[in-house]
Amino acid sequence: GAGVSQSPSNKVTEKGKDVELRCDPISGHTALYWYRQSLGQGLEFLIYFQGNSAPDKSGLPSDRFSAERTGGSVSTLTIQRTQQEDSAVYLCASSLAGGTQYFGPGTRLLVL
């Protein structure tokens, strides 16, 4: 596609529920990144994929967070048993290997 797309754009959920956030990277981009941006905060790195493998998962805040990427394309970030502190904008970016990252519009998650 023309750019990185993310869905849903907004998600409201109840505490304790699981959520799945989806990222469609730019076609041909081998690298994919997930970040979290809390209100008024900078970007917090979560996880990085090169192809389908994740060489760097160091940013995942807890074992409630997981991510996968299939076919070297679409990625899903899953948050289990959501907590209120998970409320944030989740941003996805893709790039060619080692290249400039291009960001999607983000998914705004609100946990009530």
Q: How far is the CB of 38 from another protein (least distance, A)?
A: 11
**Is residue 22 close enough to count as binding another protein by CB under 8 A?**
no
Helix (H, G, I), strand (E, B) or coil at 84: helix
Restricting to residues 37-56, name those near another protein by CB under 8 A: 41-43, 45, 48, 50, 55-56
| CA–CA–CA angle 28, 30, 36 (5° rounding) | 115
**Is residue 91 close enough to count as binding another protein by CB under 8 A?**
yes
Q: How far is the CB of 43 from another protein (least distance, A)?
A: 4
Taking Cα atoms as reference points, which of 56, 59, 84 lies closest to residue 69? Answer: 56
